[in-house]
Structure 1
Amino acid sequence: MIEYTLNGPASQERARIRLMSALRENRFPQAILIDGPAGIGKKRLAMEIAKALQCTDPNMRPCGHCFGCRMADDSGATDGWVVPMESAEAHARSSDDVSAGSKAKTVEDFKKAYIEEIQKNPYRVDVFSTGAFISVDLMRMMTSSFAMKGDRVRTVIIAEADRMNESAANAFLKTLEEVPPDTYFILTTNSREKMLQTIRSRCLALHLLPLSDEEVKSEVLRVAGEDFDESSLTDDVIGLAVGSPGKALYYAEHAKVWCKLAADFVVHSLRGNYTDLFMELSETSLSDAYEANRFLEVLSFLLADLLREQAGARLRMPETTTSVGLANFPRVDATALELALVAVQETMSRIESRRVTATMSLQSLSLKLFEGYK
């Protein structure tokens, strides 16, 4: 019997054991959907699975050196991936359509760049822009490559599959209804609820768990490289990550500014120091909708931590939470904090919908954050 080994953190070992058992017993499904929070390693596991399926070693898979393993690791083998793209990127000409010697970027060039970024750091949470999506053209490009498969096993990783638009989802559904022989689809998603139920029902569901705090630190240091400043992995950053190395890497870059701003946001809102707060917001440059909502995640986490502080529970952001000095505001009780959390979530929805600018939304939030408790 061929032995299979899928590497990864101990916290996700149960999921890997389930997959390795299916591989050994030759009952691996042709479509699998891996879901879980952002940045916990879904794409990393997908790449491990792809190598195991494509490996041709007669004893141990993935071996890492056979043709199948090398193809799975080759960012130039773009037909093994479907990734979200900006509209202009997705509509770029194919390499088959450009003239010889042309320096114009093709859709394969854009896809290769994304694959390289994922392979460099599979935990990264900001590799795709908020406007990137999976179009029906990208799905058609995937299916058109099936004719060139030959007799080898084909794997296709569909990253962030919940970003399929309606046409792409319907096109993929037709493919799932009759999957070509020796072809396997590995879908990853942060939000399986956003996907068509008919697609979900045709895939083996695999939920990936967050990592422990120690595993988060270990994985961040492993993928970040020698130039990474380990001191940026503060207790507050690890707390914000909630088991996600990808979020830890992201917040390691932003937390120093955003944690202070979140604490100031609460204190200035309570004291009515709106001029100072508006000035600080403008200096932090949160006009981009994506970054504004990532900051609001920090603010939301802080408010939840203030609730924990009132209840005497362990804090996830000890330094930032204690800096607020909630004892100086005796009128702010659990109800006030819960209402503030609701207000933050509503603001995030407005920013995401692009109905109001991020700057105006943040200013409006500061005015009503603790309405009636100041």
Structure 2
Amino acid sequence: MIEYTLHGPASQERARIRVMSALRENRFPQAILIDGPAGIGKKWLAMEIAKSLQCTDPNMRPCGHCFGCRMADDSGATDGWVVPMEADEARARSSDDVAPGSKAKTIEDFKKAYIEEIQKNPYRVDIFSAGAYISVDLIRSMTSSFAMKGDRIRTIIIAEADRMNESAANAFLKTLEDVPANTYFILTTSSREKMLQTIRSRCLALHLLPLSDDEVRSEVLRVAGEEFDEASLTDDVIGLAVGSPGKALYYAEHAKAWCKLASDFVVFSLRGSYTELFMQLKETSLDEAYDANRFLEVLSFLLADLLREQANAPLRMPETTTAVGLSNFPRVDATALELALVAVQETMSRIESRRVSASMCLQNLSLKLFEGYK
């Protein structure tokens, strides 16, 4: 019997055992959906599975050195991936349609750049822009490659599958209804509820758990490289990550500014110091919807921590929460904080809809955050 070994954090061992058992017993499904919070290693596991399926070693898989393993690790083998792309990138011409010697970027060039970033750090949560999506043309391009003859195992990783638009989802559903022989789809998503139920029902569901705080720290240091400043992994950053190395990496870059802004946002809103707060918001440059909502995640976390502080529960962001000095505002009780959390969530939805500018939404939020409790 061929032995399979998938590597990864101990917190996700049960999921890997399930996959290895299916591989070992030759009952691996042709479509699998890996879901879980952003940045916890879904793409990493997807790549490990792809190598295991394509590996040809007769004893231990993935071996890491056979042709199948090398193909799975080759960022130039773009047929093995479907990734969200910006509209202009997805409309780029194929390498088959570009004149010899042309320096114009092809769709394969764009896809290869994304794959390289994923392989460099599969935990990253900001590889794809907020406007990137999986179009029906990307799905059709994937299925057109099925016409190529060959007996080798074909694996296709569909990263952030919830970003398929309606046409792409329907086209992919038709493919799932009649999957070609020796072809395996590995989908990843942080928002399975946004996917067609008919697609989800045709995939084996595999849920990944968040990592422990110690695992987050060690995984960040493993993938970030020698230039990474370990001091940026503060207790507040680890708390914000909630078990996600990808979020820890993201907040290690932004938390110093955003945690202070979140603390000031609460204090200045309570004091009515709106002019000063508006100036800080302008200096922090939160005009992009994605960045604005990531900041609001920090603000939500702070409000939740203030509730924990009132209940004498352990804090996830001890430094920032203590800096607010909530005891100086005796009128702010649990109800006020809960209503503030609702206001933040509503603002995030408005920003995501893109009907109103992010900066305007943040200003409006500051005016009503503790309405009636100031």
- Per-residue deviation at 1:304? 0.2
The equivalences for 1:15-54 within 5 A come to 15-54=15-54
Q: Take 1:143 and 1:284, find their aligned partners in 2: how far apart are those partners?
A: 44
The equivalences for 1:251-290 within 5 A come to 251-290=251-290
Identify the residue that residue 135 of structure 2 maps to in structure 1.
135
Identify the residue that residue 291 of structure 2 maps to in structure 1.
291
Identify the residue that residue 118 of structure 1 maps to in structure 2.
118
- Per-residue deviation at 1:246? 0.2
Q: Take 1:166 and 1:359, find their aligned partners in 2: how far apart are those partners?
A: 30
Q: Could you report, residue by residue, the CA deviation over 1:264-297 in whole angstroms, capped at 9, with x for unpaired residues? A: 0000000000111011111111111110000000
Q: Secondary structure at the match of 1:186?
A: strand
Q: Take 1:291 and 1:149, find their aligned partners in 2: how far apart are those partners?
A: 45
Number of residues of Structure 1 aligned to a counterpart in Structure 2: 374
Identify the residue that residue 84 of structure 2 maps to in structure 1.
84
Q: Secondary structure at the match of 1:34?
A: strand
Identify the residue that residue 61 of structure 1 maps to in structure 2.
61
Q: Could you report, residue by residue, the CA deviation over 1:306-339 in whole angstroms, capped at 9, with x for unpaired residues? A: 0000001000000000000000100000000000
Q: Could you report, residue by residue, the CA deviation over 1:8-49 in whole angstroms, capped at 9, with x for unpaired residues? A: 000000000000000000000000000000000000000000
Q: Secondary structure at the match of 2:184?
A: strand
Identify the residue that residue 331 of structure 2 maps to in structure 1.
331
Q: Which runs of 4+ in 1 moved over 4 A?
A: none
Q: Take 1:239 and 1:5, find their aligned partners in 2: how far apart are those partners?
A: 31
State the TM-score, normalized to the length of structure 2: 1.00
Identify the residue that residue 222 of structure 2 maps to in structure 1.
222
* 1:107 is the counterpart of 2:111: no
Identify the residue that residue 148 of structure 2 maps to in structure 1.
148
- Per-residue deviation at 1:147? 1.7
Identify the residue that residue 208 of structure 2 maps to in structure 1.
208
Identify the residue that residue 245 of structure 1 maps to in structure 2.
245
The equivalences for 1:231-242 within 5 A come to 231-242=231-242
- Structure 1: which amino acid aligns with 2:369? L
Q: Secondary structure at the match of 1:355?
A: coil
- Per-residue deviation at 1:54? 0.1
- Per-residue deviation at 1:144? 0.6
- Structure 1: which amino acid aligns with 2:197? Q
- Structure 2: which amino acid aligns with 1:188? T
- Per-residue deviation at 1:59? 0.1
Q: Take 1:115 and 1:339, find their aligned partners in 2: how far apart are those partners?
A: 42
Identify the residue that residue 198 of structure 1 maps to in structure 2.
198
Q: Could you report, residue by residue, the CA deviation over 1:189-233 in whole angstroms, capped at 9, with x for unpaired residues? A: 001010000000000000000000000000000000000000000
Identify the residue that residue 316 of structure 2 maps to in structure 1.
316
Q: Take 1:192 and 1:293, find their aligned partners in 2: how far apart are those partners?
A: 20
Q: Take 2:293 and 2:203, find their aligned partners in 1: how far apart are those partners?
A: 31
Q: Secondary structure at the match of 1:19?
A: helix
Identify the residue that residue 7 of structure 1 maps to in structure 2.
7
Q: Take 1:200 and 1:176, find their aligned partners in 2: how far apart are those partners?
A: 10
Q: Secondary structure at the match of 1:96?
A: helix
- Structure 2: which amino acid aligns with 1:160? E
Identify the residue that residue 75 of structure 2 maps to in structure 1.
75
* 1:168 is the counterpart of 2:172: no
Q: Take 2:355 and 2:122, find their aligned partners in 1: how far apart are those partners?
A: 32
- Per-residue deviation at 1:148? 1.8
Identify the residue that residue 304 of structure 1 maps to in structure 2.
304
Q: Secondary structure at the match of 2:27?
A: coil
In structure 2, the gaps of 5 or more residues are none
- Structure 2: which amino acid aligns with 1:132? A
Q: Take 1:103 and 1:256, find their aligned partners in 2: how far apart are those partners?
A: 41
- Per-residue deviation at 1:149? 4.8
- Structure 1: which amino acid aligns with 2:9? P
Q: Take 1:158 and 1:363, find their aligned partners in 2: how far apart are those partners?
A: 38
- Structure 1: which amino acid aligns with 2:62? P
Identity of aligned residues (%): 89
Identify the residue that residue 354 of structure 2 maps to in structure 1.
354
